[in-house]
Amino acid sequence: MYDINKGALRFATIQVILYQVRFLMYVFYTDSLMINKSRYQLIPRESFVITRSRLGRPVVYLRGFKYGAQKSQRYPNKYWHCTSIVSRGCRARGIMNKDGSFLLYEIHTHPPIY
């Protein structure tokens, strides 16, 4: 016979495990720069230009490519992606540190824009 209390206990245990997994995923995501830092290039502040787009959004121009800011501002660093992510499936991205340097993961699927 099935005991209700055991079922509730199992459900609570599963909920706790899922919470712990989500927490670990968050920790690994925020610390992923330390793990995968070899994929990124450190670009000094003098090497790129930050402007505003026609719609007023921040844009970074670097080495002939244009990067737009991601909408999520949940993390202290600012995350950027190539503006051709939708039209050409480009996976290039960057992370702007608090000190103004730019960590760049530059594997584009298209030639430079300008």
- pLDDT of the residue at 34: 45
- pLDDT of the residue at 38: 63
- pLDDT of the residue at 109: 86
- pLDDT of the residue at 67: 92
Lookup: tokens for 47: 């090497």
Lookup: tokens for 11: 């459900």
- What are the angstrom distances between the C-alpha of 87 and each of 19, 64, 76, 90, 109? 36, 17, 28, 8, 11
Question: Per-residue pLDDT for the chain (114 aa), expressed as one digit of tens each?
Answer: 555 566 666 666 777 676 666 665 555 544 444 445 567 888 888 888 989 989 888 899 988 999 998 866 565 568 889 999 888 888 889 888 878 888 888 888 888 887
Residue 93: strand pairing partners = 81, 105
